[in-house]
Structure 1
Amino acid sequence: MLIKTDAVVLKQSKFGEGDRIITLFTKKLGKVQAVSKASGRHKGKYAVGTQLFSYGEFVLFKGRDLFQITQVDLRHSFYSIREDVTKLAYGAYLLELTLAAIGEGQTNNRLFELLINSLQIFSKSKKNMETIIKAYEMKLLYYSGYKPELECCVHCGTSEIGNPRFSSAEGGILCRNCFQQDLYAMKISPVTIRVMQYLITQELEQIAKLMIRTEVMEELNKITRHYIGTHLEKNAFKSLEFLNHIK
């Protein structure tokens, strides 16, 4: 059975004698693994279309265990991301985070379009990449069903939150009266809460113009890393380690 679908390449790994396993985020099938043949008439045929970040229309043949890539109509290689080490690190994090967020065969069209849009912004500019990353994290959590409660206390529901704390375990902010629900809840400023709400609701092109103060970004990084680790069950990202190394 042949299936034609738009897809983004999330990961490559070696498979057998020169073949590769390509992990695709597809629009119709969600996350799938497909073999890209590298022998005979297939040698190099799909090399460009199966590079990391590549976006295009893929024709897949469903085998007994894995899909096989039979055709690629490349729409965008996002080559400029691979030419800049900082862009590469940020872009790799988008792919790594997406891999962690979606299961095999799980479709998520809003996240699919968000990924393409984010890669397009990265390919054109180096400005505010960290802000785009924070927006991607927040929107990914929302589209994956893990949106944190930021409007009222996640435990009692009151909107009179005063000086709240943020609980990854409980899934949002806690008012003073509910701090005991999570003794490890983190301090969070009203400004950071408003920034998180903005990142969830606004378009990426508008967010790219936002300048986030250093202290707010630091608090945001601490909270989102812990929240992602709690709900996506992934704490270590090689791309982030590399990014921290080159900064």
Structure 2
Amino acid sequence: MKETFDSDNRLIVNGMILKHRPVGEYDFAVTILTMERGKISAFARGARKPGGKLSGNVEPFCYGSFVMYEGRSSYNIIEADIINYFEPFRRDLEATCYGTYLLELADYYATENSDESRLLKLLYLSLTAFTKDCFDKRLVRCIFELRALVIDGQYPGFPERRNYSDACRLAMQHISGAELKNLFTFKLSEEALGELVEITKIYRDMFVDRQLKSLDMLATLENGSL
């Protein structure tokens, strides 16, 4: 997406807050996955002040547009127009565990000053699918992880050396090749889903070279099925 600037020559980016941490007494340092500049870090001055202009608008899962000044070594957020707060991830423990894991994994794969538009769209669609009861959250998680590998250029394809079912093979073909908007259009039997979870774990162990903090809680939630 082409970058835009407002009348004061301030940069406007569209994206999602992946994480934040307190800085000083009133500020947050945030990480945003943006459509225009990939993953960026920025300061949100006064965001921890009750009633502040940015209060509540630089929390994880917030998706919208952010107006910021670009300094020599950092960005400073001035305004935020949030389109979707993804409220279910703030109220429900299970949803929080799954959603936080996706944010952390997106943070792992994303890089600065690169085209991360597909990863951002995948993240948004996956979080949206999590909020719908018709989707098994384990399947949504697998779809995100495998398609993220495709986007990152590391996806190894279907494992030919194991006797997995045709349903699992077809599911992986769909995950790796379908348009993003059509990813979440199928269901799997418990047996085929178990195979997909197993393959996803194998690939995660192969390609993710650090411990993800949110994975431990998610593993407990899924009774060790990770």
State the shift of 1:127 in Å: 3.2
Which of residues 66, 77, 83 is equivalent to 1:75?
83
Report the equivalent of 1:15.
23
Which of residues 136, 145, 153 is equivalent to 2:144?
136
Which of residues 41, 46, 61 is equivalent to 1:33?
41
Report the equivalent of 2:94.
86
Report the equivalent of 2:164.
189
SS in structure 2 of the partner of residue 96 of structure 1: helix
How many pairs does the alignment contain? 213
Aligned in 2, Cα 1:238/1:119: closer, same or farther, shift over 3 Å? same
Superposition pairs of residues 144-163 of structure 1, within 5 angstroms? 144-150=152-158
* 2-structure distance, mates of 1:219, 1:40: 44
- The answer on whether the counterparts of 1:19 and 1:39 sit within 8 Å (CA) in structure 2 is yes
State the shift of 1:52 in Å: 0.8
Aligned in 2, Cα 1:7/1:39: closer, same or farther, shift over 3 Å? closer
Report the equivalent of 1:2.
10
SS in structure 2 of the partner of residue 75 of structure 1: strand
**Which runs of no fewer than 5 residues in structure 1 stay unpaired?**
151-165, 167-172, 175-186
Computed over aligned residues only, the root mean square deviation of the Cα atoms, in angstroms, reads 2.5
* 1-structure distance, mates of 2:164, 2:86: 37
State the percentage of identical aligned residues: 27
- The answer on whether the counterparts of 1:62 and 1:68 sit within 8 Å (CA) in structure 2 is yes
TM-score by length of 1: 0.76
Query: What letter corresponds to residue 89 of structure 1 in structure 2?
Result: C
Query: What letter corresponds to residue 44 of structure 1 in structure 2?
Result: G
Report the equivalent of 2:178.
202
- The answer on whether the counterparts of 1:118 and 1:204 sit within 8 Å (CA) in structure 2 is no
Larger radius of gyration: 1
Q: Any idea what the Cα deviations from partners look like across 1:170-217, whole Å, max 9, x if unmatched?
A: xxx45xxxxxxxxxxxx3414333221122233567654533233333
Report the equivalent of 2:209.
233
Superposition pairs of residues 109-124 of structure 1, within 5 angstroms? 109-124=117-132
Tell which deviates more after alignment, 129-138 or 52-61: 129-138
**Which runs of no fewer than 5 residues in structure 2 stay unpaired?**
1-8
Aligned in 2, Cα 1:149/1:140: closer, same or farther, shift over 3 Å? same
State the shift of 1:84 in Å: 1.0
Tell which deviates more after alignment, 67-76 or 111-120: 111-120
Superposition pairs of residues 213-232 of structure 1, within 5 angstroms? 213-232=189-208
Aligned in 2, Cα 1:80/1:126: closer, same or farther, shift over 3 Å? farther
* 1-structure distance, mates of 2:213, 2:49: 35
* 2-structure distance, mates of 1:16, 1:41: 12
TM-score by length of 2: 0.83
